[in-house]
């Protein structure tokens, strides 16, 4: 009985010690497809999921990210990516933590391709 209990506790300890909450350590850039990033299919859903709850219409933050023109204005002045990448002198966004590298790469690819309303 002691041996079974000791074996069970050892296995439980090993399993619990193998978890890792840092997704970036498991991120593989080759799995991030940035080849066909569009505003409607990629960027707007990212902004909707991560930004619009605080930066919607009438939110009181002074920054609205609802329409393409709202988002493009903050792309053009550099504030969108400065905040998303948590660069010095920008307010880090989202406030709950940094977006994963693949999401940031998709935003970068869209901007590099002209930040089109497509």
Q: How far apart are CA 6 and CA 36, in angstroms?
A: 53
- Is residue 101 within 8 Å of residue 88, measured between CB atoms? no
pLDDT for 82 beyond 90:
yes
Higher confidence at residue 20 or residue 72?
A: 72
Give the pLDDT band (50/70/90) at residue 65.
Answer: very high
Exposure of 32 in the CB half-sphere (CA atoms within 13 A)? 17
Number of domains in the chain: 1
The pTM score is: 0.73
Domain interval for residue 47: 36-118
Residue 44 has pLDDT above 80, yes or no: yes
- CA–CA distances in Å: residue 100 to residues 31, 39, 75, 107, 109: 13, 18, 19, 11, 14
In a domain, 56, yes or no: yes
pLDDT in tens, 3-29: 554 444 444 433 444 434 444 444 455
Neighbours of 27 (CB within 10 A): 13
Whether 112 is in a domain gets the answer yes
């Amino acid at each position: 009985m002691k041996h079974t209990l000791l074996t069970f506790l050892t296995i439980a300890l090993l399993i619990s010690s193998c978890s890792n909450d840092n997704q970036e350590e498991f991120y593989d850039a080759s799995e991030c497809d940035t080849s066909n990033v569009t505003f409607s299919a990629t960027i707007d859903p990212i902004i909707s999921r991560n930004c619009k709850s605080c930066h919607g219409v009438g939110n009181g933050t002074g920054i609205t990210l609802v329409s393409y023109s709202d988002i493009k204005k903050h792309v053009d002045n550099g504030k969108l990516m400065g905040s998303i990448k948590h660069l010095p002198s920008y307010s880090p966004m989202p406030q709950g933590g940094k977006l994963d590298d693949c999401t940031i790469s998709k935003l970068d690819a869209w901007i590099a391709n002209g930040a089109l309303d497509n």
